[in-house]
C-alpha cells in the first residue's frame, strides 16, 4: 500500500541551527501539508502546498519556516534558525483531492525534532 | 476551516466492550473524517462519512452523522487492546482545504 515516508525519524540540533525535514508523499497525490505536534498537545496545521506554491499557512508558519518541492517526489520543511520551542513531532501529509475530492489525508510517521 | 470537539476526553474500557466517542462541530461540512493516533505515531485515516450520509460501517467501526445537530459519533465494537489510541474527528469542507484537529478522545482498552 502506498505510504508517506519521512526522514529523519529523529533529529537533535542546537538552537540557531538550520534543519531540513524531508517527506516523500504518495506519488499521485497533489496536495501536501505539514503539521506539528508538541509533546502532549494537539496536532497543529502549519502549511499546505499545491502546484509548487503555498496554499495556506498558519500563524505558526513564520519567516523562519519554508517549504519546497525540489523535485517530483520530495517535499521539504526547512526551519532556518531553530528555537527551543520548535521541539516537536513534525508530520507530513498528502491527499489526492481535487476541487470536489474528499480531502482524506495520508500521514507519515513523523520526524521528531529536539532542539537543545 | 474548523476543528471538531471530541467527547469524552478520555475513555477507559475492558477488552470486548464497545467504545463510543462523540464529535461536535460548528459550521457546514462536505464530509467528516475520523483519525486514530497511536502514541508517538502518525495519524491514520479510519473512515469518512459524507454530509449526505447518516451512517457508515467499516469492519468494527460504525460512524453516524447528524448534520442538523452538527454532531458525529464513532463506535468501536468488541474493542481490543490494540485499539488503545487517541481518536480525532475532522470536519472537512472537502477538496484540498486543510483539516484541523482538536484534542481528541484518548481511549484505553484494558486487556
The 10s digit of each residue's pLDDT in B5-53 is 999 999 999 999 999 999 999 988 889 999 999 988 999 999 999 999 9
Are B33 and A50 an interchain contact pair (Cβ–Cβ within 8 Å)?
no
> Is the peptide bond prior to A8 cis by the omega test (within 30 degrees of 0)?
yes
> Is the peptide bond prior to B8 cis by the omega test (within 30 degrees of 0)?
yes
Q: Would you say B104 and B86 are in contact if contact means Cβ atoms under 8 Å apart? A: yes
Q: How many residues does chain B have?
A: 111
Q: Is B38 on the interface with A (CB under 8 A)?
A: no
Residues of A in contact with B96 (CB under 8 A): 30-31, 48, 50, 55, 95, 97-99, 101, 103
Are B96 and A50 an interchain contact pair (Cβ–Cβ within 8 Å)?
yes
User: What is the CATH T-level fold of the domain B5-110, as seen in this structure?
Assistant: Immunoglobulin-like (2.60.40)
Q: Is A24 on the interface with B (CB under 8 A)?
A: no
Q: Is B59 on the interface with A (CB under 8 A)?
A: no
**How many Cβ pairs within 8 Å bridge chains A and B?**
78
Listed range (A27-31, A57-61, B48-52) with the worst mean pLDDT? A27-31
- Residue spans of the domains in chain B: they are 5-110
Is pLDDT at B79 greater than 90 in this prediction? yes
Which residues, other chains included, contact B88 with Cβ-Cβ below 8 Å and sequence gap of 6+? A43, B4, B6, B34, B35, B36, B37, B43, B101, B102, B104, B105
**Cell numbers of A49, please?**
502546498
Q: Is B33 on the interface with A (CB under 8 A)?
A: yes
Q: What is the pLDDT of residues B47-77, one digit of tens each?
A: 999 999 999 999 999 999 999 999 999 999 9
Q: Which domains does chain A have, with CATH numbers?
A: 5-115 (2.60.40.10)
Q: What is the largest CA-CA distance in chain A?
A: 44
Amino acid at each position: 500500500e502506498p505510504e508517506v515516508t519521512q526522514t529523519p525519524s529523529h533529529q537533535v540540533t542546537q538552537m540557531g541551527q538550520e534543519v531540513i525535514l524531508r517527506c516523500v508523499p504518495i506519488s499521485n497525490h497533489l496536495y501536501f501539508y505539514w503539521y506539528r505536534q508538541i509533546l502532549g498537545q494537539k496536532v497543529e496545521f502549519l502549511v499546505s502546498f499545491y502546484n509548487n506554491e503555498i496554499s495556506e499557512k498558519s500563524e505558526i508558519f513564520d519567516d523562519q519556516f519554508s517549504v519546497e518541492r525540489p523535485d517530483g517526489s520530495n517535499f521539504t520543511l526547512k526551519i532556518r534558525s531553530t528555537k527551543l520551542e520548535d521541539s516537536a513531532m513534525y508530520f507530513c501529509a498528502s491527499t489526492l483531492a481535487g476541487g470536489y475530492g474528499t480531502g482524506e489525508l495520508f500521514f507519515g510517521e513523523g520526524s521528531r525534532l529536539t532542539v537543545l | 476551516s474548523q476543528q471538531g470537539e471530541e467527547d469524552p476526553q478520555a475513555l477507559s474500557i475492558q477488552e470486548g466492550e464497545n467504545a463510543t466517542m462523540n464529535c461536535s462541530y460548528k459550521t457546514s461540512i462536505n464530509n467528516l473524517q475520523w483519525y486514530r493516533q497511536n502514541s508517538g505515531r502518525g495519524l491514520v485515516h479510519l473512515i469518512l462519512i459524507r454530509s449526505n450520509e447518516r451512517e457508515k460501517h467499516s469492519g468494527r467501526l460504525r460512524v453516524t452523522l447528524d448534520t442538523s445537530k452538527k454532531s458525529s459519533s464513532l463506535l468501536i465494537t468488541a474493542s481490543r487492546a490494540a485499539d488503545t489510541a487517541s481518536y480525532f474527528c475532522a470536519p472537512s469542507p472537502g477538496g484540498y482545504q486543510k483539516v484541523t484537529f482538536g484534542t481528541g478522545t484518548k481511549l484505553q482498552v484494558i486487556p
